[in-house]
């Protein structure tokens, strides 16, 4: 099992190119199930989650090629991928595939919309909370679907003639359920209005792609999305938006270590709340052509309190990274997690590096320390794993991060990008 070795103490200087967003690429890939034509996606990152979803889509009959050629082993850069699903050959998403990644459950929406039926295993994914599928079930039932749970699977059936447009308001904001309901509603008869919809940029990106395919969606990016159903969708070409979580992660790494880095091929407007928190911590953040610049000179890190919230609030996917930054702040800061109930598993690992963090319910109190010291640590989930990398970059001596398969799910070429900016980071293959 691979590990990552980090020798801390070097500031980061240079340019870091930002990859396409995993959280946008996954629903965009699943949207290929909605049409028999070819959907071409540009700027798709090479990540473990993407590769797993390619296998799942292949199980349903999606033919995949990269830049006009068959998928190649060992490809390590963002790619252009062509998805063609002439016929859905299987409407079952089996446990052995879905259990490895929660987002693969989202195929239930397109399968139900296009084929009128789906049998999908209950999902897996990171162990950061229960994340029930009730919202998915309730919202698809609002479109007329019959949903039954049997033997760990959801058996979904559309009414005769297909799904029917409806008004549905989510009792709580859910990005995944918004994706699924929006995809399903594109082929429903009549108009669907989604209330309390997720407003994330990834939802806007999916809507833009679906509209390019012939859907009629308005209001994406607001809390109310309206979809006028169409009889079929066509192919399209769409570029995946930049990864705002990767962007924020590297910005926090620069703020942690000091230095001066241009984050390239990204957009500062995608994470305004996190940028404001970084500025309050003492980092310089300013837009430049094709991205933005993050810098911190020898001045100390100021403590900042943050609360995770649905977009446009502070992202839960940057909570662990920001907590790592606050371990070196000159004072006490607080991080409150409101999205997932079990997303503080990185706290004990940060403590191994010398961090002083105490928990009270869903709030972490971080007392900044003068220095961190390298130690062996273990990744527990995707975002927690990169928080340990950030802390290791600023720690004295060597930090060894194990179970880095979590990192490979969401960060493309992490070691290479950091090494180019002066960090001492290497992957050790056992």
Span 382-403, pLDDT tens digits:
777 899 999 999 999 999 999 9
Rounded mean pLDDT of 211-218?
98
Q: Is 205 annotated as a binding residue?
A: no
End-to-end CA distance of the chain: 6
Residue 129 has pLDDT above 50, yes or no: no
288 is in an annotated binding site: no
pLDDT top residue among 70 and 322:
322
pLDDT digits (tens, 9 = 90+) for 94-106: 998 888 888 899 9
The answer to whether residue 420 scores a pLDDT higher than 90 is: yes
Distance CA 48, CA 407 (A): 9
280 assigned binding-site residue: no
Q: Confirm whether residue 407 is marked as ligand binding.
A: no
Residue 179: what pLDDT? 98
Residue 131, pLDDT > 60, answer no
For residue range 138-150, what is the model confidence (pLDDT) as tens digits? 999 999 999 998 9
Which is catalytic among the residues 85, 126, 209, 421? 126
pLDDT score of 122: 86
- Tell me: is residue 131 an annotated ligand-binding position: yes
Is 7 marked as binding a ligand? no
417 annotated as ligand-binding: no
Residues in a beta bridge with 380: none
Identify the band that residue 67 occupies on the pLDDT scale cut at 50, 70 and 90.
Answer: confident
Q: Return the pLDDT at 360.
A: 95
> Which of 121-135, 207-221, 332-346 has maximum average pLDDT?
207-221
175 is in an annotated binding site: yes
Residue 232 has pLDDT above 70, yes or no: yes
Residue-wise pLDDT for 295-334, tens only, equals 998 789 999 999 999 999 999 999 999 999 999 999 999 9
**Can you read off the two tokens belonging to residue 132?**
């029930």
Confidence check: pLDDT of 25 > 60: yes
266-280 pLDDT, tens per residue? 999 999 999 999 999
**Residue 430, annotated ligand binder?**
no
- Domains identified in the chain and CATH numbers: 3-19+242-428 (3.65.10.10), 22-239 (3.65.10.10)
Phi and psi based region of residue 44 (left: phi greater than 0; alpha: psi -120 to 50; beta: remaining): beta
Q: Give the pLDDT of residue 288.
A: 95
Q: What is the pLDDT of residue 77?
A: 62
Q: Would the pLDDT of 123 be above 90?
A: no
Mean pLDDT of the chain: 93
pLDDT digits (tens, 9 = 90+) for 235-267: 999 999 999 999 999 999 999 999 999 999 999
Stretch 353-376: mean pLDDT: 97
Least confident segment among 69-78, 279-288, 351-360, 392-401: 69-78
Kindly report the backbone phi and psi dihedral angles of residue 319, in degrees, each rounded to the nearest multiple of 5, phi listed first.
-60, -50
The answer to whether residue 40 scores a pLDDT higher than 60 is yes
Least confident of 66-75, 185-194, 295-304, 343-352: 66-75
Residue 72 has pLDDT above 80, yes or no: no
Residue 126 designated active-site: yes
Q: Is 356 annotated as a binding residue?
A: no
Q: How confident is the model at residue 68 (pLDDT cuts 50, 70, 90)?
A: low
Cα–Cα distance, 44 to 50 (Å, whole number): 8
**CA neighbor of 116 nearest in space, from 177, 208, 32, 188:** 188
Query: Tokens 């006009």 identify what position?
Result: 68
Share of the chain above pLDDT 70, in %: 95
Report how far residue 176's alpha carbon sits from residue 181's, in angstroms, rounded to the nearest whole number. 9
């Amino acid at each position: 099992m691979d590990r990552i070795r980090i020798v801390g103490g070097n500031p980061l200087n240079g340019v870091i190119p930002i990859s396409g967003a995993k959280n946008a690429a996954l629903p965009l890939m699943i949207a290929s199930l909605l049409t028999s034509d070819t959907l071409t996606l540009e700027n798709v990152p090479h990540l473990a989650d993407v590769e797993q979803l390619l296998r799942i889509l292949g199980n349903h009959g999606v033919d995949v090629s990269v830049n006009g050629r068959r998928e190649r082993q060992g490809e390590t850069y963002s790619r252009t991928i062509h998805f063609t699903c002439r016929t859905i050959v299987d409407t079952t998403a089996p446990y052995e595939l879905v259990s490895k990644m929660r987002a693969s459950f989202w195929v239930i929406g397109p399968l139900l919309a296009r084929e009128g039926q789906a049998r999908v295993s209950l999902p897996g994914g990171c162990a950061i909370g229960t994340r029930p599928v009730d919202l998915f079930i309730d919202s698809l039932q609002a479109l007329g679907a019959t949903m039954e749970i049997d033997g760990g699977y959801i058996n979904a059936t559309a009414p005769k003639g297909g799904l029917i447009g409806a008004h549905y308001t989510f009792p709580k904001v859910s990005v995944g359920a918004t994706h699924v309901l929006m995809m399903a509603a594109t082929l429903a008869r009549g108009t669907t209005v989604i209330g309390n919809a997720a407003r994330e940029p990834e939802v806007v990106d999916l809507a833009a792609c679906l509209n390019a395919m012939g859907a009629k969606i308005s209001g994406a990016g607001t809390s109310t999305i309206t979809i006028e159903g169409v009889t079929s969708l066509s192919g399209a070409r769409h570029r995946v938006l930049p990864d705002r979580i990767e962007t924020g992660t590297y910005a926090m790494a620069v703020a942690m270590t000091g230095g001066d880095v241009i984050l390239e091929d990204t957009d500062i407007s995608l994470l305004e709340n996190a940028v404001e928190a970084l500025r309050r911590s003492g980092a310089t953040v300013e837009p430049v052509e094709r991205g933005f610049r993050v810098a911190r000179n020898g001045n100390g890190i100021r403590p900042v309190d943050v609360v995770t919230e649905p977009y446009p609030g502070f992202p839960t996917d940057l909570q662990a990274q920001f907590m790592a930054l606050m371990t070196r702040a000159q004072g006490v800061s607080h991080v409150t997690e409101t999205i997932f109930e079990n997303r503080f598993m990185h706290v004990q690992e940060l403590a191994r590096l010398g961090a002083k963090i105490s928990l009270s319910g869903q709030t972490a109190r971080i007392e900044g320390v003068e220095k961190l010291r390298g130690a062996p640590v273990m990744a527990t989930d995707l975002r927690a794993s990169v928080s340990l990398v950030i802390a290791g970059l600023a720690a004295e001596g060597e930090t060894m991060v194990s179970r880095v398969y979590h990192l490979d799910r969401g960060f493309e070429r992490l070691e290479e990008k950091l090494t180019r900016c002066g960090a001492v980071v290497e992957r050790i293959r056992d």
